[in-house]
Structure 1
Amino acid sequence: MRTRVAVVGGGQSCEHDVSLASAASVAGALDPTSYDVVPLTIDRDGTWRDRGLRPIGLSGAAQVLRGCDVVFPVVHGPRGEDGALAALCELAGLAYVGSGLRPGALAMDKWVTKLVAAAVGLATTPGHLVTAATAAHERWTHPVVVKPVAAGSSHGVSLVTEPAGLGPALDAALALDDRALVEDLVTAREIDVAVLRRVDGSLFVPPALEIVAAGLFDYDAKYGGHADLRVPAPLEDVEAKALKEAALTAYDALGCSGVARIDFFLTEHGPVLNEVNTVPGMTEHSQVPRMFAAAGMTYAELLDELVRGAHR
């Protein structure tokens, strides 16, 4: 008998379109001989829609979800990746793919992620928290990166290289969140590391990926094809070992499950944690599937591993 899998995409965050692409890719790649896929979509206004894109509301979605064996949430950003959908599944007693409520909420909050990372000895980018109430008191002293605390796909992220740019950058970040991070500009290699908890409970780390982009790796660079993604990343053995250990430490400290992508800056002093993504982009050409492909695991095999590792 085939396993019935509800693939949930869309959502109410600025990552709605990216999530739709991930969900469509996941739904299309799950082996039809093993899985019966049931797509569900959350509109930008929060309306749930069924396979035929008919509005069914949360109560209708709950009925559909209860008829499935596993829920595969692919909703990036707030009200999805932040643990909201994991909480829904747990309250309903449904098996689901990926991290639970606590790791989702912790990792989505970039400020809290920095605090957790520092507590377990991981280096993070120097920075501080800014709110709408304190933004007017910010003063530019050196190049910084401004970003929302809880948004993804580099929405609202700005590189500020002169005083006049600080105010607009804070406005852009605070338009998406009520808190922003102002971080020192780190000039270093950008390296992504994926960690997968396999069905048997073991952790698997495929070859790392390097992002080579001209300037800031922003939304346009990510999705406009303007970045060079190199996998396996050209790393010395000592660098690869340090990145792997740092990624495993972050994954374990946050309590992640399923697959997570941990993003680092690789400096002359070692890895510096940038952020953790518990629901990373999951099209076949996204960073995470590329890393597992470099390890010999096909996209369909990765998805199969995730579904079979679903938990309640």
Structure 2
Amino acid sequence: MIKNIAIVMGGFSSEVNISLKSGNVVYKHLDKEKYNAFRVHILEEKWAVVDEDDNEYTINKNDFSFVIKEKKVVFDCVFNAIHGAPGENGKLLAYLELLNIPHTSAPFYQMALTFNKRDTLSVVKSYGIKTAISVYLNKGDVIEIEKIIKKVGLPCFVKPNNAGSSYGISKVHSASELIPAIEKAYKEDTEILIESFLDGTEVSVGVIQYKGEVTVLPITEIVSENDFFDYEAKYEGKSEEITPARITKEEEEEVLKTAKKVYSILNMSGFSRSEYILVNCKPYFLEMNTVPGLTEESILPQQAKEAGISLKELFDNAIESSLNYLQ
């Protein structure tokens, strides 16, 4: 029997346009013989199914259904392609779980935890995972510049605690740059993280559940033309993403082992892509993305392709895994 799949995209954050691109790629590659796919725009001003002719059908939030030609349509599964709120921070998923609708992401608590950089770092550090030295601030806190620099050193990174796609991130080289960087980060979030600079090779690695097994995908090396892997480097071609990464066998084994361990520590399921800096052959964990970019050019699809997994297979597996999870 053909299943009705809602591909949710958009969201309430600065990442809305990136999410719409990811969602449309999922829509394009889903197996049309197995699924009736519907693009569902979740935006602050509306929740609506959008068809090929841009006609819109309002979502009934009471049961996440819609009506077309006087017929009510309900969904068998939701494919989550929302970067940021409310898809990646767990809020939408908690709602779906209350309605008993399967979705392709991890349970809402795991999504909320991993969206919060500080809390994620606190958990993984307790298991011996290496991380940068960090300082955490809430908006309104007294900013003690000398104390912060004494702890994290220069250069350092200032980033929003709950945001993605490198929005609001700055690399700070001098004490005079710290306050402007903090103000920039506060435009994205009321909580920020200031981290020490790690001098090493940056790599990104996807870990997914594939055919019932936790699978670590080939590692990608990130070489940015800019000072760091910022929005321009990620989305405007100002970086080179090399898969598989040009690292030693020892470094590869360390990253693969650490990535799988972090996925397990955080009790993850579904998609994930994590960033690490390799320093003296040891991976330092930066953060985990649980709704990574899903366009043909995005890092996780690149890694899946290197592993011999097509986008059609990747997306189909995510749906089948979520449907089987509730059985």
Q: TM-score range by the shorter chain?
A: over 0.9
Partner of 1:279: 291
Alpha-carbon separation, structure 1, partners of 2:60 and 2:289: 26
Alpha-carbon separation, structure 2, partners of 1:244 and 1:135: 40
| 1:5 corresponds to 2:12 | no
TM-fit CA distance, 1:263: 0.9
Alpha-carbon separation, structure 1, partners of 2:73 and 2:252: 43
Three-state SS of the structure 1 residue aligned to 2:143 is helix
Partner of 1:32: 32
Alpha-carbon separation, structure 2, partners of 1:160 and 1:283: 31
| 1:120 corresponds to 2:127 | yes
Per-residue deviation, residues 18-44 of structure 1 (Å, max 9, x unmatched): 10100011011111122110110022x
| 1:254 corresponds to 2:256 | no
TM-fit CA distance, 1:235: 2.1
Give the letter aligned to residue 21 of structure 1. K
User: 157, 164, 175: which one pairs with 1:152?
Assistant: 164
Please identify, of 138-147 and 114-123, the stretch whose mean Cα deviation from structure 2 is larger: 138-147
**CA RMSD between the two structures:** 1.7
Contact 1:120 1:249 in 2 (8 A): no
List aligned pairs for 1:1-312, cutoff 5 A: 1-43=1-43, 45-51=44-50, 52=54, 54=56, 56=58, 59=61, 62-64=64-66, 67-139=74-146, 141=149, 142-200=154-212, 202-214=213-225, 215-310=227-322, 311-312=325-326
Three-state SS of the structure 1 residue aligned to 2:192 is strand
TM-fit CA distance, 1:53: 5.3
TM-fit CA distance, 1:264: 0.5
Contact 1:118 1:124 in 2 (8 A): yes
Alpha-carbon separation, structure 2, partners of 1:235 and 1:61: 49
* TM-score normalised by structure 2 residue count: 0.91
* TM-score normalised by structure 1 residue count: 0.95
Percentage of identical aligned residues:
30
Alpha-carbon separation, structure 1, partners of 2:145 and 2:41: 40
Per-residue deviation, residues 221-267 of structure 1 (Å, max 9, x unmatched): 10001100000112222111110111111111111111110111111
Three-state SS of the structure 1 residue aligned to 2:82 is coil
TM-fit CA distance, 1:54: 2.7
Give the letter aligned to residue 91 of structure 1. L
Return structure 1 stretches of 4+ with deviation > 4 angstroms. Answer: none
Please identify, of 234-243 and 5-14, the stretch whose mean Cα deviation from structure 2 is larger: 234-243
Count of aligned residue pairs for this structure pair: 310
TM-fit CA distance, 1:284: 1.7
- Identify unmatched segments of 5+ residues in structure 2: 67-71
TM-fit CA distance, 1:66: 6.9
Per-residue deviation, residues 159-196 of structure 1 (Å, max 9, x unmatched): 11012211110001111111100101112111011111
Contact 1:49 1:61 in 2 (8 A): no
Give the letter aligned to residue 10 of structure 1. G
Please identify, of 120-129 and 138-147, the stretch whose mean Cα deviation from structure 2 is larger: 138-147
Alpha-carbon separation, structure 2, partners of 1:218 and 1:189: 15
Contact 1:209 1:291 in 2 (8 A): yes
Alpha-carbon separation, structure 1, partners of 2:314 and 2:181: 38
Contact 2:49 2:59 in 1 (8 A): no
Contact 1:11 1:46 in 2 (8 A): no
Which one has the largest radius of gyration?
A: 2
Give the letter aligned to residue 115 of structure 2. M
Please identify, of 21-30 and 54-63, the stretch whose mean Cα deviation from structure 2 is larger: 54-63
Contact 2:251 2:281 in 1 (8 A): no
